[in-house]
Amino acid sequence: MSSPKKPALIKSLRFALIFKLFACVISGLLALPATIHAAEGPQSTSMSAACPKLLNETFPRLQDEQPQSLCQYAGKVILVVNTASYCGFTRQYDGLEQIYKRYKDQGLVILGFPSNDFGQQEPESNKKIADFCRNTYSIKFPMFTKSSVRGPNANLLFRALTKQTGEAPSWNFHKYLISRDGKSVQSFGSQITPLSLTMTNAIEEQLRERQ
């Protein structure tokens, strides 16, 4: 005749085993986020390291003033231009948009920086500048909020471009052409139009270069 204590003992052992398994599952789930974060760490570091020093800056977008890291353009050929809405060179917006459309699929991006440094020819607010660019020239390339591009108050990108080329903008629509790796920068004065052979040949030469 079996002892009445055995069924209770077996039941107790089963409960202990189930509880132990449940505890192991919970412990594994709690440890999962730490594993994910550990895996993400080196990847983030690698992405940061891939951004050239010249592009390691953030500027507010013209349309909504949301901060934009220039690192997102790493690996592209970049044409940086300081712009103004009431200048004899303002019509160059049209040429800039044309070369952006022509070469963007090959890796070109144009970055526009409105500035009131020259002749007080960009006095408007960021919203009015954005409306002007969109409504008058249908600009699709990235534009950033108004800032200074020359002298002690120049934004950090233009300071670096001036230092690297030895040439600061002398008027609106000065252009800097940055290579894919961010190490080479060419400077073009306002008189060099976007659709000129000088400009398009330089762009095409840089586009042929691969990282």
Residue 31, pLDDT > 80, answer no
Domain count for the chain:
2
The residue from 49, 66, 87 where one domain ends is: 49
- Residue 127 pLDDT > 90: yes
The per-residue pLDDT for range 140-194, each reduced to its tens digit, is 999 999 999 999 999 999 999 999 999 999 999 999 999 999 999 999 999 999 9
Domain that holds residue 6: 1-49
Residues 7, 94 share a domain: no
Catalytic residues: 87
In this structure, the answer to whether residues 133 and 59 fall within a common structural domain is: yes
Question: Are 9 and 95 within one domain?
Answer: no
Across the range 66-89, mean pLDDT stands at 98
> First-to-last CA distance in the chain?
84
Pick the more confident residue, 34 or 88.
Answer: 88
User: Is residue 26 located within the same domain as residue 62?
Assistant: no
With 0.75 as the threshold, say if the pTM is over it: yes
80 with 160, same domain? yes
Q: Which residues contact 82 (CB under 8 A, 6 or more apart)?
A: 112, 113, 114, 115, 117, 149, 158, 169, 172, 173, 174
In this predicted structure, which of 7-11, 21-25, 54-58, 73-77 has the lowest mean pLDDT? Answer: 21-25
Q: Rounded distance, CA 63 to CA 134, Å?
A: 10
Contact 144, 59 (CB under 8 A): yes
